[in-house]
Amino acid sequence: MTIEEKVKIAHAAIIKDFESENEFGTRLFLEHHLEELDSTELEEITGSDNPTIEELLKTIVWIDNESEEMIDFSLPNDMTNYVICVHMDEDGNVEEVSMES
C-alpha cells in the first residue's frame, strides 16, 4: 500500500472520528483550536474570522512525518504544534485517532 493510499484512508478515519463525536480525538483538536486561535489566524486558514467546527475540519492537511504507521494531520501554515495522529498497522488498518503534540 502506498503512502498516498494510507493518507487517504487516514483522512477518512479523521472524518469518521469527528462524526462519532469521540471527545479525545479530532473533535478535541478542532475545539481546542477554535478557542485558542484568534480571529485573524482563523480567517487566514478558513476564510472566516468565526468559522464553524466543520469549516475548520476542512482545512486540515497531511504533515509528512516519514512514518507509514502514524499519519499526522494538522492545520495549515504551521498554526500549531498539535496534530491529529492516525495510528495504522502495517496493512493500513486504522487502530486509533488521537490528538497529540
**pLDDT tens, 25-61?**
999 999 999 999 999 999 999 999 999 999 999 999 9
Q: Tell me which residue of 56, 86, 59 sits closest to 72, measured CA to CA.
A: 86
Please give the single-letter amino acid code of residue 30. L
Q: How confident is the model at residue 23 (pLDDT cuts 50, 70, 90)?
A: confident
Q: Tell me which residue of 91, 93, 82, 89 sits closest to 25, measured CA to CA.
A: 82
Q: Which helix (H) or strand (E) holds 14?
A: helix 3-20
